[in-house]
Amino acid sequence: MKTNSWKDTLTKDASVEEIGLLFNSIFRHLLRNPFKLIVFPIAIGLLAFLVGLIVYQPKQKAVYIIAAEEETASGFEGLMAQFGLDVGGSNPGGVFKGDNLVRLFQTRSMIERALLNKVDYRNDSIICADLLFRSTKHARKKEFEGVRFMTNRNEHDAITDSALFLTYEYVRDNVLSVSKPDKKMGFIYVNATHRNPDLAVSFSKVMITTVTDFYIESLTMKARKNLDILRFEADSVRTILDRNLKTTAIETDLNVNPMWQLMRVDQNRAMIDLQISISLFGELIKNLKLAEISLRKQTPLIQVIEEPRFPLEKVGYKPWKMGLIGLLIGFLIALYLSFRQYNASPPKDLNKI
């Protein structure tokens, strides 16, 4: 049977012998053209290796492992609630629990807030954005010459805000990585990757500090406001109580005829005001102490499980790895071209199948 190509042989009802003859013919064809199978892989592999040498910039990764406390209500709290006493429920983490806390690390507001914090870098205190902006490709542009970031963002102009946004994009895409590998465990991995290991460690540390402060501030905002109100009311009632004590003493010291009951009205009124002030002040002090307990219980704990230690882990494709990938790509290209040539003009012995 005559055939025009190896595709025709594979698509018809071919026997095992015919398929064997086909592959034997293809193998002999490849051996007659060794130039492509050798030159293409070597040439593309060397090219990939040279490109790797030029563009390769070794990076190091600083890894923090943290765990956020997630409590549930205890039996003691439920028992106290039955008697009308609120000793502060457990941490109302709600929106910040689990994967949402991971997402909080990656938000623009948190990253930009961290960038505007100062870090200790080589015995100097420098704004983090000033260090990281130099690593971006935009730092060499003329319009960003002389850009200096401030810890107070209100002092920024439009150019500085644009530079801050570009730095945020660089950090989001190339520096910061936050993940929670094991869903059953509460460990969160905060990774910062950079060519400068000191900067990687400093940024990961300030990022954790920034998010932790915001996390605690958000979860305890209601409890802190309640505590501030109770402290203000307790101070006000204490002032009234002191005044009533003085008024009661003055009224008691008056030399009044005991037969004149009308003269005792002011004295009795002062005593009543004093008793009310004492009772009110006692209740406020009790609620104030309960509010302090509530604030302490609602203050979440973010525990650092592991900190980065030098030497840091090196990441990124190395030039020799890129060379191997180029070698493989070159070999596949050589096979593709050889098969195209074989399919265009199959050898005569293939037509005997």
* Residues 13-22 pLDDT 10s: 556 666 666 6
pLDDT for the residue numbered 345: 60
Res 352: pLDDT = 47
Q: State residue 4's pLDDT score.
A: 47
Instruction: State the first-to-last Cα distance of the chain, in angstroms, to the nearest integer.
Output: 6
Least confident residue range of 18-27, 65-74, 93-102, 340-349: 340-349
pLDDT tens digits for range 139-155: 888 889 889 999 999 89
Predicted local distance difference test score (pLDDT) of residue 257: 55
Question: Model pTM?
Answer: 0.66
More reliable by pLDDT, 5 or 158: 158
pLDDT of residue 76: 44
Highest mean pLDDT among 50-64, 228-242, 286-300: 228-242
Q: What percent of the chain has pLDDT over 70?
A: 72
- At residue 168 the predicted structure's pLDDT band, cuts being 50, 70 and 90, is very high
Three-class SS of the chain: CCCCCHHHHHHCCCCHHHHHHHHHHHHHHHHCCHHHHHHHHHHHHHHHHHHHHHHCCCEEEEEEEEEECCCCCCHHHHHHHHCCCCCCCCCCCHHHCCHHHHHHHCCHHHHHHHHCCEEECCCCEEEHHHHHHCCCHHHHCHHHCCCCCCCCHHHCCHHHHHHHHHHHHHHHHHHEEEECCCCCCCEEEEEEEECCHHHHHHHHHHHHHHHHHHHHHHHCHHHHHHHHHHHHHHHHHHHHHHHHHHHHHHHHHCCCCCCCHHHHHHHHHHHHHHHHHHHHHHHHHHHHHHHHHHHHHHCCCEEEEECCCCCCEEECCCHHHHHHHHHHHHHHHHHHHHHHHHHHCCCHHHHHC
268-301 pLDDT, tens per residue?
787 888 888 888 888 888 888 888 887 888 777 7
pLDDT, residue 1, reads: 42
Q: For the ranges 46-50, 104-108, 209-213, which has the lowest average pLDDT?
A: 46-50
- Across residues 258-268, what is the average pLDDT? 64
pLDDT at residue 342, rounded to an integer: 62
pLDDT at 74: 46
pLDDT band at 52 (very low <50, low <70, confident <90, very high): confident
Low-confidence winner among 219-223, 259-263, 286-290 (lowest mean pLDDT): 259-263
Mean of pLDDT values over 322-333:
83
- pLDDT surpasses 90 at 166: yes
